[in-house]
Amino acid sequence: MQSITGKIISNKGKNTVIVAVETIVVHPLYKKRLRRTLKIAAHTFLADLSLGDTVLLVACRPMSRTKHFLVKEVVNKTSNAVIQSPSNPVTKGKAASSKELGASKKKIVRGKKVTKK
């Protein structure tokens, strides 16, 4: 029986979670280590799964077109911390304004500073 360990990246389905499984492969010519991520849909009966939890998946009969794995157990439970991605920065519970991101209203045109009104 095949078993895989991965991290939950989505739990929006009713009985389905999406698990990211990372593997490291070595390029045959250049010998560089590459990280490959595989997204697997898995069926679950557990209700307390949250984003970032590490789970153990077990192969089973096909539950649907994309679900061929079952969540057997939670290996590592994460706290309710906010998961930050590079495309979505989190700034202490409020949206980042343009001033905080470094944008200014001054613009330089041909060596002279021009301010917007």
Q: For the whole model, what pTM was predicted?
A: 0.64
Across 1-5, 23-27, 78-82, the highest mean pLDDT is recorded for 23-27
pLDDT for residue 23: 95
Q: How far apart are CA 65 and CA 21, in angstroms?
A: 19
Mean pLDDT, rounded, for 17-35: 96
Task: Walk me through the domains of the chain, giving residue ranges and CATH numbers.
Answer: 1-77 (2.40.50.140)
